[in-house]
Amino acid sequence: MQLTTHDSNMEFTVEQIAQMLNGTVKGDKSLKISQLAKIEEGEEGCISFLANPKYEQYLYSTNSTAVIIDKTFEPKKEYTATLIAVENAYAAFTLLLQEYQKILMQHKKGIEQPSFISESAKIGTDVYVGAFAYIGANCTIGNNCKIYPNVSIAEGTVIGDNTVIYAGVSIYHHSQIGKNCIIHANAVIGADGFGFAPQGDGTFATIPQLGNVILEDNVSIGANTTIDRATMGSTIIREGVKIDNLVQIAHNVEIGKNTVIAALTGISGSTKVGESCMIGGQVGMAGHISVADKTIVTAQSGITKTVKQSGRIMAGSPAQDSHDNLKSQVLYKNLPKIEQRLREVEEKIKHL
């Protein structure tokens, strides 16, 4: 079941929401829900969720009309909210947020003026194009796409169904964007890779960047993130990848399926990151290396060499196994004491 409405306001019964979430209601099924809220900030008409035990106290005092809980949860005190018991409260609330977002965007259809759409561009049904957007020659825009104001989509670009591109995004020529993608404000997809050849006289000659960028389905790109086009071939962001704000992906990089990358990370050219990796904030990766599937890289780490073994947790700069890195940090903190002890030993040796 999907939630549907004729305007931007959500109003559903607890029973309708429970059916959508495959949940069981404990309380009044007929109560109306019109808003989503944190459990500690809930008011009448709101629905909240409880997934983290440290927030359990708010269940007994919340003013939310309904609260989504895990099926295994057993309240310890009296409560007034109607409960919806599901397999996973956090996942269920995420699904509810996604449905609510769809409702809020339903009214976004049509082409605002002024905007430019090339006569050779193919535009799908139920598309929204905001004011001052530019869609170049031979572009293909899928059904139900949302192109917000001041977006620039250069010639030959293909964008799949249900993709949302927020204000100020620049997509360079012949990029390929999959279905159900989200590209947040001011991201740049397909700028030239950083390719320059040193010359004998000390100058640098620009190496033409003739490739493109491919984003597969269900990819999310954060605000002000940049993904460079390949020198030849493609820079590829595989299905399900989630990239935070202010991330730099260089030319010919490949990011594996369902990998997540936090803000301020930089990945150098031709590096291959595996599937289901978790990359923390401010991580730096050298070029022409590979990172195995399911690797976890903690914040501010520097990956300078290939990571061959799947599932490792890497930390530090240069990065090493997190356990070894913690040992190194302990030794580093104790260096002044170690130095003092060494000097004392040296003095004793002198007097022998």
Give exposure, 126-148, as e/b (b: 16+ Cβ within 10 Å).
ebbbbebbbbbeebbbbebbbbb
Q: What is the DSSP letter of 307?
A: B
Exposed, middle or buried: residue 168 (CB in 10 Å: 0-12, 13-18, 19+)?
A: middle
Distance between CA 133 and CA 143 in Å, rounded?
17
- 248, 252, 258, 262: CA torsion to nearest 10: -10
Measured between its terminal Cα atoms, the distance across the chain in Å is 86
Spell out the residues 6+ positions from residue 137 whose beta carbon is closer than 8 angstroms to its own: 118, 120, 121, 155, 156
Does residue 251 carry a catalytic annotation? yes
- Other C-beta atoms closer than 10 Å to the C-beta of 294 total 18
| 3-state secondary structure at position 92 | helix
- Please pick, among 251, 288, 323, 351, the residue that the annotation labels catalytic: 251
List the structure tokens of 259.
Answer: 């990998």
Cis peptide before 318, with omega less than 30 degrees from 0? Answer: yes
- Residues carrying an active site annotation: 251
